[in-house]
Amino acid sequence: MAADEGSRTLIIWRHGETEHNASGIWQGQLDTPLSDKGREQALSAAATLAAYEPSVIVSSDLQRAADTAGSLASRMGLQVRYDERLREIHAGLWQGMTAGDVAGQFPVEQAALRAGEDIQRGGHGESMGQVAKRTREAVEDLLATLAPGDTAVIATHGVAGRTVVAGLVGLDQHTAWQCFAGLRNCHWAEVHEYAGAWRIVTWNVGANPL
């Protein structure tokens, strides 16, 4: 089915690689910078995303997302809007730990997640439901400013990006977690508006083939 004339497009874009990504460390809301590789990824992705001619770029205020967004904004002559509601999930005590350490030190919580329970990560962090609520509010505020035919780019994070897409298409977060492979660094999803609803057009697209 073709998109309606004047339908809007959202590009949900995960930030470039950080040293924590490369080392398998939980970042959550730690404010880690892009690595050299991540900055190169952002520049390469920006060259591809420019073809969408976005009119708006909104970003998480964490520097890895903000700097990724900046690579596209400078190319397009746009100002980035920052929104802390687009931050990554807060992972509580797990932030700064490797995935292996988390699995070893928090076996009960890991078992609960595998069973599909939506617990707060790392004891005092966030649940997926909490992330979905705040990211949905951010997207609704963005959509209220978009004219027919506009394209907006949302620079965010892996978990937060998946919650945005799932919320737009009406998919529950547990199903999304089970069905969607994680967004790779500097890869994105393209979501189009059809007759007042939203559909995923592409998932995990990047400047270079996987």
CA-closest candidate to residue 201, choices 54, 3, 52:
3
Distance separating alpha carbons of residues 81 and 66, to the nearest angstrom: 9
Which residue reads 């951010």 in tokens? 138
Structure tokens at 9: 């497009």
Q: Cβ neighbours of residue 138 under 8 Å, at least 6 residues apart? A: 58, 83, 85, 86
> In 3D, which of 56, 111, 65 has the Cα closest to residue 84?
65
CB contact set of 2 (below 8 Å; sequence gap of 6+): none
Residue 15 catalytic? yes
Strand order in the sheet with 151-156: 80-82, 56-59, 151-156, 9-14, 188-194, 197-205
Of 5, 17, 40, 88, the active-site residue reads 88
Q: Are 83 and 60 in contact (CB under 8 A)?
A: yes
Estimate the share of the chain in helix, then strand, then coil, as percent rounded to the nearest 5.
45, 20, 40
Q: Can you tell me the distance from the alpha carbon of 86 to that of 17, in angstroms, rounded to the nearest whole number?
A: 17
Mark whether 88 is an active-site residue. Answer: yes
Active-site residue set: 15, 88
